[in-house]
Amino acid sequence: MTKRTEILNIRLPEELILELDQLVNKRIFKSRSEAVREFAREYVQSQLHNEEKKAKKTGQGGEGW
C-alpha cells in the first residue's frame, strides 16, 4: 500500500542545494526530494524521541513539541 504524499515547496540556500546535488550525483539518494524526505523523517523522529525521553524524566505526557 502506497502512502499518500503531499507536495511541499521550500526555499534552500544555493550552497545546500549544491550539497544535495553531490549526494544525488554520488548515488547516495535518487533525487533531491528523496534526500530531503529522508532528512526530514530522521529529524522529526529524533525530536519526537527526545521529547519522549524528556517527558519520562519529568513524568509528563509526550504530546507536542
Q: What is the mean pLDDT of residues 29-34?
A: 97
The pLDDT, as a whole number, for residue 61 is 61
Place of cell 524524566: 57
CA 57 vs CA 9, 10, 47, 50, 52: distances in Å = 37, 35, 15, 11, 9
**CA distance linking residue 37 with residue 20, whole number of Å:** 12
Where does the pLDDT of residue 3 fall: very low under 50, low under 70, confident under 90, or very high at 90 and above? confident
Q: Rounded to 5 degrees, what are φ and ψ at 28?
A: -75, -35
Q: Above pLDDT 70, what percent of the chain?
A: 89
Q: Over the Cα atoms of the chain, what is R_g?
A: 16
Using the predicted structure, report yes or no on whether residue 47 has a pLDDT greater than 70. Answer: yes
Contact status, residue 41 vs residue 53, Cβ threshold 8 Å: no
